[in-house]
Chains A and B, each alone.
Chain A
Amino acid sequence: MMAAETKIEKKSSSVWSLFSSVKLTIALLIVLAVASIVGTLVPQREEAVGFARNLSPAMLEFFRSLNLFDMYHAFWFRLLIGLLALNLLVCSIDRFPHTWKRFRARPSPDRKKPFEGLPESQTALVQGNLEDAAQRVSRLLGNRYKRLQTKEDKDGRYFSADKGRYAYFGVYVVHLSVLIIIIGALIGSFFGFEGYANILEGDAVSSVALRKGGAPMDLGFTVRCDDFSVEFYKNGAPKEYRSDVTFLVDGKEAEKAKLLVNHPATFRGVTFYQASYGKAPGEKVSLDITRTASKPQVTKMDVKKGEWAPLPGEEGKFQVSEVDSNLMGVMGPAAMISIQPKQGQETRFWIFQDREKLEKRFPGMMTQNPKLNASAFKPYTFSLSNLESKYYTGLQVNRDPGVSVVWLGCFLMVAGFFVAFFTSHRRIWVRLAEEKGALRLSVAGVASKNPVGLERELERLTSDLAHLSGEGEK
């Protein structure tokens, strides 16, 4: 029984010592760095598709099994971060008692060791009687330092004091801040969401698509884009774009907001960011329909997408079945005409607003391909004179309840750095002893870091103390 218990204890203590070692910290930092490098070289998420296509099946399987296409969200990457957090926690717990002891320690005033090998600049002979000098030293040290202690014996007077002992905790604050940031990120990934919505001017949505995929997320309220406007620089680059939106709850207007890039708005814990914009075709389509009988006759018509209308010559009916503000990314505004004659097959073809330009750019294409031939249904020729277009606003829609926790962590990290790197615990000892009818003043000190700074401080303190006692003489 006893043997088994000590074995367990030993085992757990070896796990403890593994996680309390800085070797592990450095190893984890470097492994995380290397893994992150891999993640920047292998295309991630949406961009991975093209890359994955060029991989052999075995490689693809390998990449997929390690989740390398979404590496930063992979289990093993999160595990590494978790191990680092655990390492941090164990290290801090392991070292804290020692730090606490140093924080609490009050060294005795009459220590001799700090005075060994004292430089010339930290000692002086001063006039006056011991009692007065001791009082002045006490007062000055009490003003500049904390936890002043005094002691006296037949050889003289002894003082000790310190300041800045909170410097020991700086490193714990920094490490705690890392844990807080990780916790903030976890809160965000468990209780938040990242989505997006493209809303046409005048339209409203009450749910958004999620970045990670899956079913759309219901917002519990409605957001309507009342107006969208964009301004351009002379060179055509967008200068500023903004959306005026209204949030509606149960059909009633609850709040209005202006969204600009870098100026999001929050409603009921959900934040809306102006992310992008684009043009989408509206409903209204203007057509010129030419009927060539004995002589060509042009009819101008405004139709709505999806609504059937009779042909001018009554041979049947037609509709605009599809519209695209830039077909295939190069063809410009386009509409698909579907014609249903009284007898026979339905005919479908695309017509283009920029027909003349396209004919120059792609000679022959319009007439050879029946799907692009505007005169495919005799005796008519259709042409697109205008396609109504509307702006849509692209909104990033997020909820992240962990953000304030992350900011708290960031603030603590910077504050902790200042304490850890730029403050130090300085302990000083002062000794006053009678020597040849005068008083020998000696000043010594120890600092947890920045020995040069301490030396400067001790020199100044020595001269201040000597000056003080010297003046007392007159």
Chain B
Amino acid sequence: MASSNILSYIIFVYFGAFMLYLMMMVMRKEVFGRIATVVAGLGLLAHSLAIVLRWVESYKLDMGHAPFSNLYESLVFFAWTIMFLYLLVEFRTRNKTLGAFATPLAFLAMAYASFSPNISSGIQPLIPALKSNWLIAHVVTCFFGYAAFGLSFGLSVMYLIKRREAVGAGNGFMKLIPQPLVLDDLNYQMVVIGFLLLTLGIITGSVWAHSAWGSYWTWDPKETWSLITWLVYASVLHSRLVRGWRGKKIAVLAMAGFTCVLFTYFGVNYLSGLHSYATF
């Protein structure tokens, strides 16, 4: 299929963007950053086209569904949301250093989708339970939430590196990274956006589960892990807003939160439950 071919090239485009962002930081030359942004932007454009194409292809195969229905498609969409959100943040903040921490996430998601022997890239028919208008709302909110948490993870790593560099003798390698205070603030914004979207994702999932299975909450492992993730980020927000925690503590908590996101996404596949169609 044309769409999977395009998508397999995009892996290398994102890897290239990642390398360029790294070169910008190592050599401290803005020009690499500018090229990186162009490469990432073109990659995202091709990525979007491939997703639309896949959607059209599914209609040609007489299955006709949004490309969000198995692990391959969800990984492709996850990478897309990360790149989209990252470029939005880059545009807003005018700082490109997060690129070196965000593009590898998108690259890894795409590479995993294409190279893992357990993941089939074919378009599969939709099982009756997935035939619902809630599919798109649920998947879009969840994955934009995951992407925001992914960027928050990148910012937390940047914060910890920057802080260490500020304490020890700086070699200038991380000079382009914004000040810790700016990172901390941006990290908080990402957590807020991710938390709101995760909440919407859980709610749309509940409404859907209620119409498909008759129960809005069944404590199935995926539901439970999304609640665990929600609880962790709720405690991040409370410790920051009420207890006034900043900096390192928040960075570490946000990283723990993203670990929960990853487990909600992948780890749960090793436990049985209603979301089993997302396993392969």
Contact = CB atoms under 8 A, between A and B. Distances in A.
B163 interface: no
A343 interface: no
A275 B131 contact: no
Contacts of A237: 125, 127
A235 B196 CA distance: 39
Contact of B131 (A30, A40, A240): A240
Contacts of A241: 128
Interface string B190-220: 0010011001100100111011111111010
Contact of A39 (B200, B210, B211, B224): B224
Interface stretch (A159-167, A259-267, A286-294): A259-267
A191 to B, nearest CB: 15
A338 interface: no
B228 interface: yes
B211 A235 contact: no
B247 interface: no
Contact of B211 (A40, A240, A263, A421): A263
B133 to A, nearest CB: 9
Contacts of A407: 207
Interface in A103-120: none
- Counting chain A CB atoms within 10 Å of each CB, the highest count among B195, B212, B260 belongs to B212
A29 B238 contact: yes
Nearest to A195: B214
A26 interface: yes
B221 interface: yes
B1 interface: no
Contact of A275 (B210, B214, B231): B214
A261 B212 contact: yes
B127 A238 contact: yes
A40 B127 contact: no
Contacts of B129: 261-262
- Counting chain A CB atoms within 10 Å of each CB, the highest count among B125, B214, B215, B221 belongs to B214
Contact of B216 (A41, A260, A261, A403): A403
Contacts of A32: 231
Contacts of B221: 40
A88 to B, nearest CB: 11
Contacts, number: 106
Nearest to A407: B207
Given A39-B224, A240-B131, A273-B212, A410 B238 contact: no
Given A25-B238, A39-B224, A262-B211, A410 B125 contact: no
B268 interface: yes
B228 A22 contact: no
B169 interface: no
B196 A33 contact: no
Given A262-B212, A273-B214, A26 B235 contact: yes
Contact of A410 (B127, B203, B228, B242): B203
Contacts of B215: 194, 396, 398, 400
B213 A40 contact: no
A466 interface: no
Contacts of A261: 128-129, 131, 212
Nearest to B202: A410
Contacts of B271: 40-41
A158 to B, nearest CB: 33
A36 interface: yes
B104 to A, nearest CB: 28
Contact of A37 (B125, B211, B217, B228): B228
Interface string A21-56: 011011001101100110111001001000000000
Contact of B214 (A44, A271, A413, A418): A271
A275 B213 contact: yes
Contact of A273 (B213, B216, B224): B213
B57 to A, nearest CB: 16
A407 B202 CA distance: 12
Contacts of B260: 33
A210 interface: no
Interface of B: 63, 125, 127-129, 131-132, 192, 195-196, 199-200, 203, 206-208, 210-217, 219, 221, 224-225, 227-228, 231-232, 234-235, 238-239, 242-243, 260, 268, 271-272
12 contacts: A29-B231, A32-B231, A36-B231, A40-B271, A47-B272, A235-B125, A238-B127, A261-B131, A262-B211, A398-B215, A414-B196, A418-B196
Given A39-B219, A261-B131, A406-B206, 4 more contacts: A36-B228, A233-B125, A271-B214, A396-B213
